């Protein structure tokens, strides 16, 4: 693969976890990266510092993707700084796992606001602001196939993202490809929070590799999906889960 990724790439939710690992890897391959975050100022600064200290080109912009006016400002600031947006990666997401009967209205609303409305808002801006022949890559999750207890609403949000992505891929035109990437269990703070050691071991045993993914495993798949080598791929979901499903 060509190591020169000469693109301006906007990554929502990229201050930590998979988003941060992705920002660092894409910057190392020559991309100009916009680190978007909603509240994690410290982590965003650390991600930005790592990239710039290693010779990369990046900026950090705070914006809540669930709010269309902040998404507009996010794109406007990116274009003011870099002149364009070639790639949109929607990594921002929240997860609130509860047994179905214990789910409250706020649990439902908050997850759909970020995980679905956030993707809706950014893809609407992409209709106007993304470069011709650009790329949209939305994060789904392998939980849509795993049917894990307590994941009903989170999994539903990701299924909605997948279907919305398929439809947009047929509508947006201008040579823009639209795909999803669906990680499996990945060793991030978001995923590990509240899970017992026994449950983690059970998940590891479901993969023939007998481990959880590292954020860098997912970032490497993202690198391919936003490169020119993947340009004939559109309207697809890439499951990156170590063979779990």
The one catalytic residue among 37, 82, 154, 239:
154
The CATH homologous superfamily to which domain 8-186+214-239 belongs is NAD(P)-binding Rossmann-like Domain (3.40.50.720)
Per the CB < 8 A criterion, the answer to whether 55 and 49 are in contact is no
Q: What is the pLDDT of residue 191?
A: 81
The share of the chain scoring above pLDDT 70, in percent, equals 99
Per the CB < 8 A criterion, the answer to whether 238 and 182 are in contact is yes
pLDDT digits (tens, 9 = 90+) for 150-190: 999 999 999 999 999 999 999 999 999 999 999 999 998 87
Query: Whole-angstrom Cα distance, residue 123 to residue 101?
Result: 33
The sheet carrying 8-12 orders its strands as 57-62, 32-37, 8-12, 85-90, 130-139, 177-183, 237-240
Rounded average pLDDT over 111-133: 98
Query: Whole-angstrom Cα distance, residue 97 to residue 105?
Result: 13
Rounded average pLDDT over 206-220: 96
Rounded average pLDDT over 28-54: 97
Show Cβ contacts of residue 213 under 8 Å, excluding neighbours closer than 6 positions.
183, 184, 185, 186, 187, 240, 241, 242
The question of whether 154 is a catalytic residue gets the answer: yes
Q: What is the pLDDT of residue 237?
A: 98
| Mean pLDDT, rounded, of the chain | 96
What are 155's strand-pairing partners? none
**pTM, 2 dp:** 0.96
> DSSP string of 61-82?
EE--TTSHHHHHHHHHHHHHHH
């Amino acid at each position: 693969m060509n190591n020169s990724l000469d693109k301006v790439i906007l990554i929502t939710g990229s201050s930590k976890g998979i988003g941060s690992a992705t920002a660092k890897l894409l910057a190392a391959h020559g991309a100009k990266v916009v680190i978007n975050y909603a509240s994690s100022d410290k982590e965003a600064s650390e991600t930005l510092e790592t990239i710039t200290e290693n010779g990369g080109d990046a900026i950090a912009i705070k914006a809540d993707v669930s709010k269309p006016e902040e998404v507009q400002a996010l794109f406007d600031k990116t274009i003011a700084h870099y002149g364009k947006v070639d790639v949109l990666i929607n990594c921002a997401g929240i997860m609130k796992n509860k047994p179905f009967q214990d789910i409250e209205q706020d649990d439902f609303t908050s997850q759909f606001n970020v995980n679905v409305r956030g993707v809706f808002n950014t893809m609407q801006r992409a209709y106007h602001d993304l470069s011709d022949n650009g790329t949209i890559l939305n994060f789904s999750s392998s939980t849509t196939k795993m049917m894990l207890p307590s994941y009903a609403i989170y999994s539903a949000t990701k299924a909605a993202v997948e279907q919305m992505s398929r439809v947009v891929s047929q509508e947006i035109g201008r040579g823009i490809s639209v795909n999803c990437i669906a990680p499996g269990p990945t060793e991030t703070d978001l995923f590990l929070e509240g899970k017992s050691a026994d449950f983690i071991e059970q998940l590891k045993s479901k993969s023939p590799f007998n481990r959880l993914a590292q954020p860098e495993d997912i970032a490497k798949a993202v690198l391919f999906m936003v490169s020119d080598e993947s340009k004939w791929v559109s309207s697809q979901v890439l499951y990156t889960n170590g063979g779990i499903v």
